[in-house]
Chain A
Amino acid sequence: MVSVLTRPAEVRAASGGQRRRRRRRGQASGYLFLSPWIIGAALLTIGPMAFSLYLSFTDYDLFTSPKWVGTQNYVRMFTQDDHYWDAVQVTVKYVVISVPLQLGLALAVALLLNQPRRARGFYRSAFYAPSLLGASVSVALVWRAMFGSGGTVARGLRGLGIHTGSWIDQPKYALLSLVALSIWQFGAPMVIFLAGLKQIPRDLYEAAAIDGAGPVRRFVSVTLPMLSPVLLFNLVLAIIHSFQAFTSAYVISNGRGGPSDSTLFYTLYLYQRGFTDFRMGYAAAMAWVLLVVIAVITAGVFRSARRWAFYAGEDQR
């Protein structure tokens, strides 16, 4: 798109050197205007990232200067660290359970809210509200009280004759309480789904109805394909987001990732290594592995999307 816009300018610029110079000056002032961002990105993002890549090959305890140890951090991580593999397992489990449930719920609610109904605006805001609060410490504290011993959840279930005890103090339930917290925050994908649903032309549904398609058939054959780009977008965001989950586990497990490593998210373990044990090199190595894994998974999702994501206007492929 950019190239289309600039091509005529290039053609014109070729007619005179003076114009080219002016264009370059224009570019320079463009960069000048960008400079706050460029300086910020270089100093606060790119620089530290490069430094952390270097750190991942060192032994660094904050107090003394980094000591080069080659790939030792990576080797230890993959071969000698039980907690590391606990963390990987917990995180993957969390992503695999929470992403489909969250997106499924978001889509279901979006479909409901897409019906013409009274007080739609109110419901839309009401369902979106948890997403605004969800990542905060206060909500995690509320969650801890709800799922803790004597909390609402354990008591409610006891009323139904199900005796679970405190969820957050048992390895088999602790992660589920975190999954519940993430599902509850379905507002953001819901709003995006809703916008996607509004883009689907009415006449497609009418045509399908005339052809005798019922509601299920219309959903599978019209809604889903038309919504697939939005689904792809939400899926990628949700996966990345879940891999980086931290606050809820940190607050609910009191920073330990317990009981028995059952809420030891990857980022939480990274934080422990970095800020409890002060093994910054090791933590940096963990961060880079996470970055690569997220990049690979995202690329995989995009690749697979070629087969299932449908873009209007390119129906003949």
Chain B
Amino acid sequence: MSGALSRTKIGAVALVLAGVVSACSSSGGGSGGKQSIRFVWWGNQDRATATQQAVAQFEKKNPDIKVSTEFSSYNSYVQKLTTQIVGGGAPDVIQLDRPTFGEYVQKHALQDLTPYVGKSLNLSDISSELLSGEKADGDQYAIPSGQTTQMIVYDANLFAKAGVTVPASGWTWDQFLSDMRTVGAKTGTPGTTDLGWAVDWFDSWLHEQGKSLYTNDGKLNFTADDLTQFWTMTSTLAKQKGASNAQATTKMDGSTQNSAMVLKQAASEINYDSNLTSYISSYNGGTVKAAPLPSDGNGPTESGMAALPPVYYAVPKQAGHKDAAVKLIDFLVNDPGAGKILGATRGLPPNQTVRQQVCSAATAGNKAVCDYETAVKDKIGPSAGWFWPAGSSAIKTDFQQVYDNVIFGKSSPASAAKQLVSEANQSLNS
């Protein structure tokens, strides 16, 4: 009897265990013949719609490759992507920005694309200035999705109402500050969004003085005094109602959705011109125009503006289908049809021929980007010296957190600058 009993027991236990084991091993099998790749990015709806259309074209041309796409907001994107790459579930084509590119390259997470160049990946029509930013030790680790540069986007109606015209050759900093105060005083809407929130605009300001955020070997290239000066300038402007209030500034994340200007808390704003399309489509009740950044010097090296890829395409080292992934990247940057669909949703097309085609056929938002880049052509500097190393994502986040303390009156620009520099040094060393 006891033998029979234990057999049932064992049977029951085996059943339970079998349930556990089968639950653990439920990963799906692949489909034969057809390659399936994943393409992930962050961005707004404009970008998503255009990208999905371009991907559909690619699938039509390459019936053996199936592309599944995913997009999200920036914050969740980076966290999810890194976890996936480390966890072995890397997508095949990824979108990166400067801080994440620096981070991934230094941590050896990206596939070297040099072996594909000239074969399945054609880069001959892309300017070397644009490509040089994605090289490490001479090897190509990412492909620019396009070209962008900094701009001041403004509501022309509000500016006209205040009697402020943008100087033909661009503002000097003194002119800019006083004009922003005028707009604030005459229209009730502060002249510009407080530009102290983003490390990007501090980077521009530094470049105008021949400095930069980081050296090429990933060290800090500015002092607490520089930052004190910058934050004093920006926070003073906010106090004089020339720049947005703290409540609006703290919301900023570079998207038009949370933009102080789009939310009518400011009459202008610094951003990259790859976002101009989105400003034009989401701004209500005003004509949106773009102007170059304020600068006290002349020429492209002192303009605070450079030819930067708004985002990069790259292939993770652990990607499952690298050949197909490279094929998709090549299609996105070089195919005229794809260029037509994508327009300037990731900056102007990197391929010169495609760019000309897109610009000559452009309307509305895309035309505005083309016109702006043509107008400021002589001010756009080389992209060398704009590399952001590993740790720069943390510094970007920290920059905004620390500046919050300044605009909400919790610390002075000087003590905030000191805090940022000490924390930045830790981020770069760890």
Q: A residues touching B (Cβ–Cβ < 8 Å)? A: 22, 25, 29, 32-33, 35-36, 39-40, 59, 61-64, 76, 80-83, 149, 165-166, 169-171, 254-261, 272, 275-279, 282
Contact = CB atoms under 8 A, between A and B. Distances in A.
Contacts of B246: 169-170, 259
B251 interface: yes
B253 interface: yes
B20 A260 contact: no
B105 to A, nearest CB: 11
A259 B397 contact: no
Nearest to A170: B247
Contacts of A165: 247
Nearest to B14: A32
Contact of A171 (B263, B394, B398, B408): B408
Contact of A259 (B6, B253, B408, B426): B408
Contacts of B391: 277
A170 B250 CA distance: 9
Given A35-B17, A36-B16, A256-B400, A169 B394 contact: no
Interface string B82-107: 11001000000000000000010001
Contacts of B6: 25, 29
B108 interface: yes
Contacts of B20: 36, 39-40
A258 B393 contact: no
B426 A62 contact: no
B13 A62 contact: no
Interface of B: 2, 6, 9-10, 12-13, 16-17, 19-20, 75-76, 78-79, 82-83, 86, 103, 107-109, 246-248, 250-251, 253, 258, 263, 391, 393-394, 397-398, 400-401, 404-405, 407-408, 410, 419, 422-423, 426-427, 430
A283 to B, nearest CB: 12
A258 B426 contact: no
B82 A260 contact: no
A89 B75 CA distance: 25
Contact of B404 (A149, A166, A259, A276): A259
Given A165-B247, A254-B75, 4 more contacts: A29-B10, A257-B401, A259-B250, A260-B408
A148 to B, nearest CB: 9
- 6 closest residue pairs by CB, A with B: A63-B107, A277-B394, A260-B404, A169-B247, A259-B250, A275-B79
A63 B109 contact: yes
Contact of A276 (B107, B397, B426): B397
Contacts of B263: 149
A144 B263 CA distance: 16
B13 A32 contact: yes
A260 B409 CA distance: 10
B267 to A, nearest CB: 18
Contacts, number: 103
14 contacts: A59-B430, A76-B426, A80-B422, A170-B246, A254-B253, A256-B397, A260-B405, A260-B408, A260-B410, A261-B405, A275-B82, A276-B397, A277-B393, A278-B103
Contacts of A256: 397, 400-401
Contact of B2 (A22, A64, A149, A272): A22
A278 B410 contact: no
Contacts of A254: 75, 253, 258
Contacts of A257: 401
B404 A261 contact: yes
Given A29-B9, A80-B426, A254-B75, A63 B401 contact: no
A57 B350 CA distance: 45
B401 A258 contact: yes
Q: Is the interface of A mostly helix, strand, loop or mixed?
A: loop
A59 B9 CA distance: 48
A255 B109 CA distance: 25
A33 B13 contact: yes
A61 B107 contact: yes
B420 to A, nearest CB: 10
Nearest to A276: B397
B405 A149 contact: no
B419 A82 contact: yes
B252 to A, nearest CB: 10
B7 to A, nearest CB: 11
Contacts of B408: 170-171, 259-260
A186 to B, nearest CB: 30
B247 A279 contact: no
A77 to B, nearest CB: 12
Nearest to A174: B250
Contacts of B108: 63
A255 B251 CA distance: 11
Contacts of B394: 276-277, 279
B410 A171 contact: yes
B251 A169 contact: yes
Contacts of B404: 171, 258-261
Contacts of B109: 63
Given A29-B9, A258-B250, A36 B393 contact: no
A45 B279 CA distance: 48
A276 B75 CA distance: 8
Contacts of A80: 422, 426
Nearest to B23: A36
A166 B247 contact: yes
A89 B16 CA distance: 47
Nearest to A172: B408
A283 B76 CA distance: 18
Given A29-B13, A36-B16, A260 B250 contact: yes
A277 B401 contact: no
Given A256-B397, A261-B404, A272-B397, A35 B426 contact: no
Given A258-B401, A261-B401, A35 B250 contact: no
Question: Of residues B16, B107, B250, B426, which shows the largest number of chain A Cβ atoms within 10 Å of its Cβ?
Answer: B250
Contacts of A276: 75, 78-79, 393-394, 397
